């Protein structure tokens, strides 16, 4: 069964319209929506999509079809905020490409401030003036608290969602 997947990489939710029945879905930032479908023997696949700034329209007149939305984790959204909104995308540390994900502990508690300092270390920007670093720590700590919902989390909560719609076996 074919699966068509769309990902919302914008800062706003997108509207997804599945035609010809007019089914509507909301696709939040970083979410992926998939349509799995199958046509009867001999039927022609005439699916098409129309992607715009505010929405996606997907035409699929297959008799058998299903939709699945895969949502991002809070950590996915935090990483997106850090890079896209704040410019902390990682850097070179001792000549090696480094991202904050590379510096996180596997277990234990990670505070917003510890996370912020690790993000700055991943940028290899530890030589900046203390007042600038303090401003960055405050900015990154605020983003951490907003996205993770607390001033600290267990390290195990700092995971990304790489799942795609219909990763599991087809139903039925």
CA–CA gap between residue 54 and residue 43 (Å, rounded) = 32
For a pLDDT cut of 70, what percent of the chain falls above it?
97
Mean pLDDT of the chain: 93
Report, as an integer, the average pLDDT of 105-121.
96
Tokens representing 89 are 């995308």
- Alpha-carbon dihedral sign for residues 5, 146, 78, 80: positive
pTM: 0.86
Q: Please, is 72 exposed, middle or buried when counting C-beta atoms within 10 Å of its C-beta (0-12, 13-18, 19+)?
A: buried
The closest alpha carbon to 165, from 71, 58, 44, 28, belongs to 71
Residue 30 has pLDDT above 90, yes or no: yes
pLDDT at 77: 97
Distances (CA, A) of 51 to 15, 25, 57, 65, 147: 10, 14, 6, 20, 28
pLDDT at 125: 63
């Amino acid at each position: 069964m074919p699966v068509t997947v769309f990902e919302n990489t914008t800062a706003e939710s997108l509207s997804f319209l599945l035609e010809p029945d007019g089914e509507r879905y909301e696709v939040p930032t970083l979410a992926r929506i998939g349509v799995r479908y199958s046509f009867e023997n001999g039927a022609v696949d005439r699916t098409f999509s129309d992607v715009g700034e505010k929405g996606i329209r997907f035409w699929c007149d297959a008799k058998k079809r299903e939709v699945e939305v895969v949502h991002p984790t809070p950590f996915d959204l935090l990483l997106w905020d850090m890079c896209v909104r704040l410019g902390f995308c990682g850097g070179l540390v001792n000549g090696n490409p480094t991202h904050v994900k590379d510096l996180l502990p596997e277990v234990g508690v990670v505070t917003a401030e510890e996370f912020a300092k690790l993000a700055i270390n991943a940028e290899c920007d530890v030589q900046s003036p203390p007042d600038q670093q303090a401003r960055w720590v405050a900015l990154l700590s605020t983003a951490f608290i907003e996205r993770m919902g607390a001033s600290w989390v267990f390290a195990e909560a700092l995971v990304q969602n790489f799942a795609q719609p219909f990763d599991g076996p087809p139903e039925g």
